[in-house]
Amino acid sequence: MSCICGEISHVCLVSVESDHTYTLYLWRDITLFGEWGSVCDDLFDLRDAGVVCRELGFTLGAAEYLSHSHYGPSGGTPMYLVDDLQCLGNETSIRECSFNGWGVHDCGAEEEVGVVCRVPGLDCAPNHWPCDFSRECIPIAFLCDHVADCDDGSDEEPTHCHVIHLTTLVCPKNQNR
């Protein structure tokens, strides 16, 4: 297991598994006054994950985020330092995003968040759709849901959301028209 930490930001991604296509990095901890703590998954979304990845030098941003302590809790009850993180997506550090305040949370033992940072050659995870220009992947269910989930808004473009309506006409027996 290896860790990538920003020198200034004190954000850390911990590598937990990899395959031949990409390395999966788990964001588990940030430091405050020399203490490590976790980030809660409440309100966490792809914009937040993108800020985390870019802050650590992954210029392509995030492919996805994983909630509910996907890799299991870090051991015991985690010390959460950040809850309800809300980034716009254009920040250079999570310290520029809004959240409840250092150490203020209402999170349980299995709410640690993880992120998958995009690297060159990374395709979207199964059941995810690649945004056109923002180099993000969103769950297929978010495509054409009337909410712009991609930073570039491509998931709501008419070219992707055009639905062909088919109507079947059934004529009564012996009446062909």
Query: For the chain, what are the domain ranges?
Result: 3-123
pLDDT of residue 88: 93
pLDDT of residue 84: 92
**Residue 46, phi then psi, degrees to nearest 5:** -65, -30
pLDDT of residue 16: 47
- CATH of region 3-123: 3.10.250.10
pTM of the model as a whole: 0.59
One pLDDT digit (tens) per residue for the chain, 177 residues: 344 555 444 555 554 444 322 233 334 455 555 666 778 888 999 899 888 888 877 888 887 777 776 655 566 667 788 889 999 999 988 888 999 888 888 888 878 887 777 776 656 777 788 887 776 788 888 888 889 888 888 888 887 776 443 333 444 555 544
pLDDT of residue 87: 93
| 86 DSSP β-pair partners | 98
Helices (H), 10-116: 46-55
Distance CA 112, CA 131 (A): 26
The residues, any chain, with a CB within 8 Å of residue 118's CB and separated by 6 or more, are 22, 53, 58, 60, 61, 62, 63, 135, 136, 137
pLDDT of residue 28: 45
Q: Which stretch of DSSP H or E encloses residue 158?
A: helix 158-161
Distance CA 133, CA 139 (A): 16
Nearest to 38 by CA among 82, 98, 97, 68: 82
pLDDT of residue 167: 37
Strand intervals (E) in the chain: 3-5, 11-18, 23-32, 35-39, 62-66, 80-82, 114-117, 128-130, 137-139
Locate tokens 């716009």: which residue?
88
